Structure 1
């Protein structure tokens, strides 16, 4: 038996084609061999189908793809989140206002 290549013929076994009383059902009898070819033809009558996406499906699909791609995008290792932060300007000196001094 072969599916993707040509099957080997029954050359070394005795072929019994004209014998109406074949007893190939038993396991001991291995001399009955038939060359059979089963051909299945494909069905080529396919219809082309078009898929029309509605607006909400299209929005969901775009957001899903965008979030999935950004899920695996790596970040820089040394991110400083407060690098561009400027502290507020002080109008009064807190140390002298509350009289706090280091001794």
Structure 2
């Protein structure tokens, strides 16, 4: 649901640059590359073709969202929602804390592995 709201409120522009009838560049979040301009050493624009045109399409998302509060819902639905939430949380019971008597017990160090020494294996 959050993804749908994000996509419906997203706004962006699509810029296209045409030279005559030919599409030169299309850009979504940046400016489209231009053609027909020449720049000299002083970085001044010298000439521009008159056959070029820029097309900017603005795609607007939804900018008005209806936000409801819990108090905007009528009393019957408020009662239904609160009783459902209360009953849902009552379904889960916590387990009693179990004490483990041998929690801090560490077994003794084995000096000799008797099973390997006598070739006795439990299968």
The verdict on a shared fold, with TM-score over 0.5 as the criterion, is no
* Higher RCO (CA < 8 A, seq sep 6+): 2
What TM-score results when the alignment is normalised by the length of structure 1?
A: 0.30
Hey, which of these two has a bigger chunk of strand by percent? 2
